[in-house]
């Protein structure tokens, strides 16, 4: 499995009145940059990867001005999906504040037709990363 961590400041527009915030998408993008696969690679192959399932368990609130550490763990699967687990920490207290997961599927970028087979370029990336 591959994982990546990134620090992110909680920005004003991201915190709701209760101080709840979610940053999985930022870590997924940073993960891709770190491991040589980005959303632009999907688009170059006429694919999009919408989220079809997301789960988050909030343990403690975050506030505007806090800095968080988000860890994304890619979970390889034989299915034509991207699955990530997440842990979010308050860097000031070194405390786990949320856990979550997301599932994305491959669709044709123009027709949104679900792709039932893992695209070749992504399978090659998995092989390069020793995930097959």
Domains of the chain, each with CATH number or no CATH: 2-117 (3.10.129.10)
The SS3 call for residue 81 is strand
CA distances from 48 to 36, 62, 69 (A): 17, 31, 27
Task: Output the pLDDT for position 24.
Answer: 65
Q: For residue range 75-114, list pLDDT tens digits in order.
A: 999 999 999 999 999 999 999 999 999 999 999 999 999 9
């Amino acid at each position: 499995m591959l994982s990546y961590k990134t620090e992110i400041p909680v920005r004003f527009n991201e915190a709701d009145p209760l101080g709840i915030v979610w940053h999985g998408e930022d870590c997924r993008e940073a993960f891709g940059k770190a491991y040589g696969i980005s959303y632009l690679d999907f688009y170059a192959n006429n694919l999009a990867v919408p989220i079809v399932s997301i789960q988050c368990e909030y343990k403690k609130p975050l506030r505007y001005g806090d800095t968080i550490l988000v860890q994304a763990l890619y979970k390889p699967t034989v299915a034509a999906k991207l699955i990530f687990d997440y842990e979010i920490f308050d860097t000031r207290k070194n405390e786990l504040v949320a856990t979550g997961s997301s599932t994305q599927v491959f669709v044709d970028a123009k027709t949104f037709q679900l792709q039932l087979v893992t695209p070749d370029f992504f399978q090659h990336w998995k092989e390069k990363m020793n995930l097959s």
